[in-house]
Amino acid sequence: DAGITQSPRHKVTETGTPVTLRCHQTENHRYMYWYRQDPGHGLRLIHYSYGVKDTDKGEVSDGYSVSRSKTEDFLLTLESATSSQTSVYFCAIGGTSGASTDTQYFGPGTRLTVL
Amino acid sequence: GIQVEQSPPDLILQEGANSTLRCNFSDSVNNLQWFHQNPWGQLINLFYIPSGTKQNGRLSATTVATERYSLLYISSSQTTDSGVYFCAGLIQGAQKLVFGQGTRLTINP
């Protein structure tokens, strides 16, 4: 299995508070992704990164920001959490350094509850 | 539009049965992948299959890119095969995957 960890694995927070989720990889993959998974919607892309300090939006990026200051870490921040952001968040990595993405590998997920 | 559609949405089988899951994808999608999400939520990559056929044990996948579909075959199903199977394709010109809604497979002992 690809070396991907996510932290925290579970979090309960209150509406209006900022939340940061961390994804860490040991595989030196160029591409990193954040998805959310909700019943009835499957997996939807929030943001992705194609290199250090290079990021782009996915289909559900409103209310989220990301940062990637080094190859191995990709942070997802909910600037002011809302109940609609209650979800399971998955990080994924893809492609080898310098190459385009192909197979994606997923982390274990973070279950976030916003009260 | 960009579409990935899976069928059937649900499938219930007895242990030992064979199954075929289908994924149709639109013209703007390629580089199909299949994933299995186990009952504990872990997503596992099964196949990266832009075209042709691949096999891994009891699982195999075939993608006919010219006809915009992919099939996942599971033979001699086991209870550990239960979970949700997703197909996903890469949006052409962008490094982004779009996922189908999944097929929930339940294998009863």
Residue A109, domain member (yes or no): no
Sketch out chain B's domains with CATH numbers: 4-104 (2.60.40.10)
Q: Which positions in chain B touch A100 (Cβ < 8 Å)?
A: 95
Q: Which positions in chain A touch B28 (Cβ < 8 Å)?
A: none
Distance from the Cα of A12 to chain B's closest Cα (Å) equals 18
Residue A104, domain member (yes or no): no
Question: Which amino acid, A103?
Answer: T
The CATH number given to whatever domain includes residue A34 is 2.60.40.10
What is the per-residue pLDDT for A97?
A: 47
- Specify the number of domains making up chain A: 1
Dump pLDDT digits (tens) for A66-77.
999 999 999 999
Dump pLDDT digits (tens) for A19-50.
999 999 998 888 999 999 998 778 999 999 98
A89 touching B (Cβ < 8 Å): no
Residue A108, domain member (yes or no): no
What is the per-residue pLDDT for A101?
A: 53
Dump pLDDT digits (tens) for B50-106.
999 999 999 999 999 999 999 999 999 999 999 999 999 988 877 788 999 999 999
Residue A28, domain member (yes or no): yes
Chain A to chain B, count of Cβ pairs less than 8 Å apart? 46
Pick the closest to residue B21 from B64, B62, B66 (CA basis).
B62
Q: DSSP letters along chain A, please?
A: ---EEEE-SEEEE-TT--EEEEEEESS--SEEEEEEEETTTEEEEEEEEEETTEEEE-TT-TTEEEEEEETTEEEEEESS--GGG-EEEEEEEES-TTS---SEEE---EEEEE-
User: What range does the domain containing A9 cover?
Assistant: 4-99
Mean per-residue pLDDT, A83-104: 79
